[in-house]
């Protein structure tokens, strides 16, 4: 099967606007040919001036020719603007459709895959990468049509007036084109991929760096604690310097070639006028001296267009990396949960296909129970909860909700069944009310307000003049971590999912907020199956069951008192926790 060109793929997103792209090429090519007409009238002006010299009163058409040259210059500009209007309308539609296709596909992907891919990379692909395709369609393609039309028109002009001077003018063009081909060949394509990879790596690490600033400030760290971010900047610097040095000689030769046309013309003038200067030859020589700078400008545009074509080719490949990611597959035998119990049977999971994050884990959570996943960092707590919400699929074993395998439950039904409150709550730039309504779009205002009240959010609302209509992130309106968490809990309450997963939800709450968050949790847990992931062991004392995870396996399970007295891993963790909360900062004597 023949692979589609980059242009054909982009035009596939154009819909009815495709005709505008074609019209933009026609207008741009026409404007290029019209733009050559002023040179013709300049030649006529020179001709009349030379014929009338020294009695310039007889040059009666010079003014007319000057006005005609200006008229065609203005007409060329207007036709080019018409072409740009067509190209922009089409490019905006194509870029919009590409972004919509990306966002729609991303919405079908497991959340775990999105996190693994990197939010910085996704943001760059959606905005900047698709934006480069927009620039290519809106500006560079019309300019390409204009450049080709200019070349055709120039060849005609160069050969019509004096074919000898025309051929001599083409020598530096051929040399420049040969040098340009060397710079924009396959090696350049690979360099362009490396360039985009370097930018993508910096973008991704920059996002992580910004997110980590609160931690840096809290613990007094310096920027050098973000070694990965600094490494991406250093790698980009090394690449840019090496690439610049590599192109230094070819670029010098290219610049020399396209600007050496005057050398050939002057040499021709000396050679061809050895027996005296002919008026016609002098006229043509002056005309070629005026015309040939257009050659270097056109070659420069063509070189930039070759580079831009590589950029858009790389952009499409990056878009394909997202579109080729497999969405959540739904089983053919659609099943519905009978209740809201959760069970894992011999679950094994690996992020990279080599090291297992979970190994043969089996556990049962009864409907309406509140359980806790605890254990050392890296033990598999969040991974286990992510499998219940189907952020990932297991390599082996099964995860069931209400007796139905999560792979056989419809994606929408599973989303309505399981709600996840993350460690870091994500609120959008919208009103508090709209953020809560994200849990259930068809909810009434009264239902959303009831959820806010149940989640202990009324003190947040009351401190703003616009109350629940206050837009977060605008005009200095920002919420603390604990306040954002309570808004997220209100959203989960409004969603009313029967299975709730709380991933270290009090990690960034101050004591006052933590008390309110815990009260909101108590309200949220009523009549629901709750899975808590916690490091603060005091928050799991009231759990119906505690599962202790270590190194991807289930080490212990049982009630709080039983595990505390057993003297196992949980007992050791509880002892360490008790000691840590009693730590005090000693004052110097």
Q: How far apart are CA 107 and CA 204, in angstroms?
A: 20
> Within this chain, do residues 443 and 562 fall inside the same structural domain, yes or no?
yes
Instruction: Tell me whether residue 329 is in a domain.
Output: no
Ordered DSSP codes for 63-100: HHHHHHHHHHHHHHHHHHHHHHHHHHHHHHHHHHHHHH
Is 280 inside any structural domain? yes
First to last CA, the chain: 82
Select, from the ranges 121-125, 206-210, 309-313, 381-385, the one with the highest average predicted confidence (pLDDT). Answer: 381-385
Residue 177: CATH number of its domain: 1.20.1560.10
Percent of the chain having pLDDT more than 70? 81
Phi, psi (rounded to 5 degrees) for 339 = -145, -160
337: in domain:
no
Domain that holds residue 378: 342-576
Is the per-residue pLDDT at 413 higher than 50? yes
* CA–CA separation, 164 and 153 (whole Å): 17
The gap from C-alpha 2 to its chain's centroid, in whole angstroms, comes to: 29
Q: Is residue 581 domain-resident?
A: no
Specify the pLDDT at position 75.
94
Beta bridge partners of 471: 431
Q: Are strands 499-503 and 418-421 parallel, antiparallel or unpaired?
A: parallel
Average pLDDT of the segment spanning 446-451: 85
pLDDT of 560: 81
Between CA 574 and CA 586, with CA 376 as vertex, the angle to 5 degrees is: 55
| Omega before residue 511 within 30° of 0, cis | no
> Are 449 and 532 part of one and the same domain?
yes
User: 570 with 452, same domain?
Assistant: yes
HEC string of 304-320? HHHHHHHHHHHHHHHHH
Looking at the structure, tell me whether residues 135 and 268 fall in a common domain: yes
In a shared domain, residues 527 and 398: yes
With cut-offs at 50, 70 and 90, classify the pLDDT of residue 85: very high
Mean of per-residue pLDDT scores for the chain: 77
Average pLDDT over residues 26-43: 88
Q: What angle do CA 353, 357, 359 make, to 5 degrees?
A: 100
Question: 545-550 and 370-374 as β-strands: parallel, antiparallel, unpaired?
Answer: parallel
**Pairing state of beta strands 404-405 and 342-350?**
unpaired
Contact by Cβ (8 Å): 157, 291 = yes
Distant-in-sequence, close-in-space partners of 353: CB < 8 Å, separation ≥ 6 = none
Q: Tens digit of pLDDT for each residue in 381-410?
A: 888 888 888 888 888 888 888 888 888 888
Determine how many CB atoms are found less than 10 A away from the CB of residue 360: 14
Mean pLDDT for 260-283 is: 69
* Residue 480 maps to a domain: yes
The pTM assigned to this predicted structure is 0.62
Assess whether 348 and 407 both reside in one domain. yes
Confidence of residue 74 (pLDDT cuts 50, 70, 90): very high
Q: How confident is the model at residue 334 (pLDDT cuts 50, 70, 90)?
A: confident
The predicted structure's pLDDT at residue 564: 79
Select from 323, 350, 366 the last residue of a domain: 323
Whether residue 568 has pLDDT greater than 60: yes
Contacts by residues 247-254 (CB-CB < 8 Å, ≥ 24 positions apart): 247/183, 250/179, 250/182, 250/183, 251/183, 253/175, 253/179, 254/176, 254/179, 254/180, 254/183, 254/303
Confidence of residue 1 (pLDDT cuts 50, 70, 90): very low
pLDDT-derived band of residue 569, with 50, 70 and 90 as boundaries?
confident
Q: What is the pLDDT of residues 100-151, one digit of tens each?
A: 888 888 877 777 777 767 666 777 777 766 677 777 888 878 888 888 888 8
Nearest-angstrom CA–CA distance, 368 and 544: 10
244-256 residue pLDDT tens: 787 788 778 877 7
Of 282 and 106, more confident? 106
Residue 51 lies in a domain: yes
Query: Model confidence at 589, in pLDDT bands (50, 70, 90)?
Result: very low
What is residue 482's predicted lDDT score, i.e. its pLDDT? 74
Q: What share of the chain is helix, strand, coil (3-state, %, to 5)?
A: 65, 10, 25
Q: Is residue 585 part of a domain?
A: no
Under the banding of pLDDT at 50, 70 and 90, the label for residue 510 is low
Same domain as 261, residue 120: yes
Q: Tell me, yes or no, whether 182 and 263 share the same domain.
A: yes
pLDDT at 586: 47
Q: Does one domain contain both 314 and 347?
A: no
Same domain, 313 and 422: no
pLDDT of residue 78: 95
Q: Best-predicted range by mean pLDDT among 48-57, 87-96, 501-510?
A: 87-96
Final residue of a domain: which of 323, 351, 374?
323
Q: Structural domain tally of the chain?
A: 2
Q: Is residue 460 domain-shared with residue 518, that is, in the same domain?
A: yes
Query: Which of 295, 323, 351 is at the close of a domain?
Result: 323
Domain co-membership, 459 together with 395: yes
Residue 260 domain-assigned (yes or no)? yes
- What's the CATH code of the domain at 454? 3.40.50.300
**Mean pLDDT for the stretch of residues 509-535:** 72
């Amino acid at each position: 099967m023949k692979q589609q060109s980059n242009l054909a793929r982009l035009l596939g997103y154009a819909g009815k606007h495709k005709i505008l792209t074609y019209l933009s090429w026609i207008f741009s090519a026409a404007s290029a040919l019209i733009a050559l007409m002023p040179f013709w009238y300049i030649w006529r002006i020179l001709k009349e001036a030379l014929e009338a010299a020294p009695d310039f009163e007889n040059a009666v058409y010079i003014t007319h020719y000057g006005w005609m040259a200006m008229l065609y210059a203005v007409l060329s500009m207007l036709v080019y603007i018409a072409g740009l209007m067509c190209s922009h309308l089409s490019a905006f539609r194509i870029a919009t459709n590409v972004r919509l296709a990306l966002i729609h596909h991303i919405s079908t992907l497991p959340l775990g895959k999105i996190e693994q891919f990197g939010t910085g990379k996704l943001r760059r692909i959606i905005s900047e990468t698709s934006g480069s395709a927009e620039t290519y369609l809106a500006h560079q393609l019309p300019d390409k049509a204009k450049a080709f039309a200019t070349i055709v028109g120039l060849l005609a002009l160069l050969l019509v007036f004096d074919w000898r001077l025309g051929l001599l003018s083409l020598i530096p063009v051929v040399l420049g084109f040969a040098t340009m081909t060397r710079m924009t060949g396959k090696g350049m394509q690979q360099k362009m991929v490396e360039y985009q990879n370097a930018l993508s790596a910096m973008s991704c690490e920059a996002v992580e760096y910004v997110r980590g600033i609160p931690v840096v400030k809290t613990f007094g760290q310096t920027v050098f604690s973000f070694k990965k971010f600094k490494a991406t900047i250093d790698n980009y610097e090394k690449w840019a310097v090496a690439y610049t040095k590599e192109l230094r000689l070819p670029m010098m030769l290219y610049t020399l070639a396209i600007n050496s046309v005057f050398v050939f013309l002057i040499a021709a003038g000396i050679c061809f006028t050895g027996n005296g200067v002919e008026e016609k030859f002098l006229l043509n020589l002056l005309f070629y001296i005026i015309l040939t700078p257009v050659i270097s400008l056109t070659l420069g545009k063509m070189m930039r267009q070759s580079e831009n074509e590589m950029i858009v080719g790389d952009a499409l490949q990056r878009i394909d990396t997202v579109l080729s990611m497999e969405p959540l597959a739904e089983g053919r035998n659609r099943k519905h949960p009978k209740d809201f119990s959760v069970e894992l049977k011999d679950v094994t999971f690996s992020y990279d296909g080599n090291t297992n994050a979970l190994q043969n884990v089996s556990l049962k959570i009864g409907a309406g129970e509140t359980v806790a996943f605890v254990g050392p960092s890296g033990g598999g707590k969040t991974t286990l909860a992510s499998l219940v919400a189907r952020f990932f699929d297991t390599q082996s074993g099964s995860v069931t909700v209400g007796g139905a395998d999560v792979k056989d439950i419809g994606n929408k039904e599973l989303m309505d069944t399981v709600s996840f409150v993350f460690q870091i709550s994500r609120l959008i730039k919208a009103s508090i009310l709209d953020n809560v309504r994200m849990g259930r779009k068809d909810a009434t205002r009264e239902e959303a307000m009831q959820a806010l009240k149940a989640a202990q959010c009324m003190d947040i609302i009351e401190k703003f003049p616009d109350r629940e209509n206050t837009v977060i992130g605008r005009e200095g309106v920002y919420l603390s971590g604990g306040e954002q968490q309570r808004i997220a809990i209100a959203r989960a309450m409004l969603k009313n999912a029967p299975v709730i997963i709380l991933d270290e939800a009090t990690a960034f709450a101050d004591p006052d907020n933590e008390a309110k968050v815990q009260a909101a949790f108590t309200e949220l847990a009523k009549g629901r199956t709750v899975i808590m992931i916690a490091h603060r062991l005091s928050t799991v004392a009231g759990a119906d069951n505690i599962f202790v995870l270590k190194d991807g396996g289930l080490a212990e399970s049982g009630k709080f008192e039983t595990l505390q007295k057993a003297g196992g891993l949980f007992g050791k963790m509880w002892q360490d926790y008790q000691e840590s909360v009693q730590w005090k900062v000693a004052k110097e004597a």
